[in-house]
Amino acid sequence: MASSTGPSRRQTWRTRLYRWDSKGSPYAFVAPFFLVFAAFGLFPLLYTGWLSLHQVSLYNVRSSRWIGLRNYTDLFTGPPSRFFWNALRNTITLGALSTVPQLLIALGLAHLLNYRLRGRAFLRTALLAPYATSVAAATLVFALIFSPEGGMANWLLGLAGFGPVDWEAGRWTSQFAIALIVTWRWTGYNALIYLAAMQAVPGELYEAAAIDGANRWRQFWHVTVPALRPTILFTVVVSTIGATQLFGEPFLFGGQSGHQGGAANQYETLGVLMYDQGFRNSMLGRASAIAWTMFALLLLLGLVNTLIARQLRRAR
């Protein structure tokens, strides 16, 4: 526009400013994310690794002592190894107990919600309501429901003719109860994710399947599920990551008696163990080693997921 009249000094200045603005502003816009992430995400992650090679006290964080891989060898074979392997095992069993039923139920629910329904909005909101509750509130309510004295769960068992169960004391009973809290909070959330993906499946696929004589069950199995594969993989990854980090539910389930994940650590997860070692026993170095072990576990799970996904794609 300005070129026909010849650039005056003011215009070149403005042009320069304009060019500077359009060149620089993208970086200015993305900078906050990267700066904050570098300071409070990346740096701490690396620093955790560094700390895991030190002996650091919670009360005197400035004086740390280099001890090499001692925290790790202690964890895997030393005195705390009993707790570590126990917590690892609990993390895996609790993760499986909460993730598998949660995703299967969510898939079934999404299928049902995909029918033409009255009261659809109400049903969706009701299913998602647990998502709005916090770990703390949900865990406290379920701790009361599974309370050995006068708890709702034992009352129902009594009605069905069974004797009371000390839910918190047993390894499997307590893990079942905790898995139920996780399942309660997240099933509706996953169901809605599946529902959205289901509604994007082209109707023609069902049409073709119907013409080929597939009944509803076979349509679900041979049309819906394959079309949902990427979404299912996404939810598997997200819930696996969530399960690996399980903390609030086992931390609060036992109340004051269950700080270490139960009197016999029967539901202590790696997350609880990390908190316990770092912030109760004041061994921040060891807690960091647990954190990095969890990181390794997550990377391993990610690798397994990728391999499974590739296998699925090939099978298709």
Partner 1 sequence: MDRTAHLPRAAGVNRAGRPSRTAGVNRAGRPSRAAGVNRAGRQHHAGPLTYLVLILVALVSLFPLYWTLVAASTDAHRVVSSPPPLVPGGNLFKNLGYVWRNAGGRGMGVALLNSTLVAGSVTLGTTGFSLLAGFAFAKLRFAGRGVLMGLVVATLAVPAQLSVVPLFILMRRLGLGNHLGALVLPTLVTAFGVFFMRQYLVQALPTELLEAARTDGANSLRVVWHVVLPIARPALAVLGMLTFVQSWNDFLWPIIAMNGATNPTVQVALAGLGTGWSTDWSVIMAGALIGTLPLLLVFLIFGKHIVGGITQGAVKG
Among residues 142 and 167, whose Cβ is nearest to partner 1? 142
Among residues 97 and 243, whose Cβ is nearest to partner 1? 243
Binding span for partner 1 by CB under 8 A among 73-81, 95-103, 165-173, 199-207: 199-207
Contacts for 80 with CB less than 8 Å, ≥ 6 apart: 74, 277, 286
Among residues 217 and 314, whose Cβ is nearest to partner 1? 217
Contacts for 157 with CB less than 8 Å, ≥ 6 apart: 163, 164, 165
**Considering the complex, what minimum distance in angstroms separates the CB of residue 193 from partner 1?**
4
How far apart CA 253 and CA 142 sit, in angstroms, is: 8
DSSP codes of every residue in 264-296: T-TT--HHHHHHIIIIIS-BHHHHHHHHHHHHH
Q: Which residues, numbered 235-254, are part of the site for partner 1 (CB under 8 A)?
A: 235, 241, 244-245, 247-248, 251-252
Q: What are the angstrom distances between the C-alpha of 172 and each of 169, 183, 266?
A: 9, 16, 8
**Considering the complex, what minimum distance in angstroms separates the CB of residue 13 from partner 1?**
13
**Which residues share a beta bridge with 133?**
none
Q: Assess 176 for contact with partner 1 (CB under 8 A).
A: no
**Considering the complex, what minimum distance in angstroms separates the CB of residue 150 from partner 1?**
3
Q: Is 97 exposed, middle or buried (0-12, 13-18, 19+ CB in 10 A)?
A: buried
Q: Assess 21 for contact with partner 1 (CB under 8 A).
A: yes
Q: Which residues, numbered 136-155, are part of the site for partner 1 (CB under 8 A)?
A: 136-145, 147, 149-152, 154-155
* Gap between the terminal Cα atoms of the chain: 57
Contacts for 179 with CB less than 8 Å, ≥ 6 apart: 94, 97, 98, 101
Q: Which residues, numbered 155-174, are part of the site for partner 1 (CB under 8 A)?
A: 155, 158
The helix/strand/coil state of 35 is helix
**Considering the complex, what minimum distance in angstroms separates the CB of residue 246 from partner 1?**
10
Q: Which residues, numbered 87-116, are part of the site for partner 1 (CB under 8 A)?
A: 109, 111-116
Q: Assess 44 for contact with partner 1 (CB under 8 A).
A: yes
The residue within the footprint of partner 1, chosen from 67, 128, 157, 233 (CB under 8 A), is 128
Binding span for partner 1 by CB under 8 A among 90-98, 168-176, 198-206, 303-311: 198-206
Binding span for partner 1 by CB under 8 A among 69-77, 95-103, 166-174, 289-297: 289-297
Q: What are the angstrom distances between the C-alpha of 166 and each of 30, 149, 264, 275?
A: 53, 9, 14, 26
The residue within the footprint of partner 1, chosen from 26, 68, 161, 163 (CB under 8 A), is 26
Q: What number of residues does the chain have?
A: 316
Q: Which residues, numbered 55-84, are part of the site for partner 1 (CB under 8 A)?
A: 61
Among residues 78 and 242, whose Cβ is nearest to partner 1? 242
Among residues 121 and 315, whose Cβ is nearest to partner 1? 121
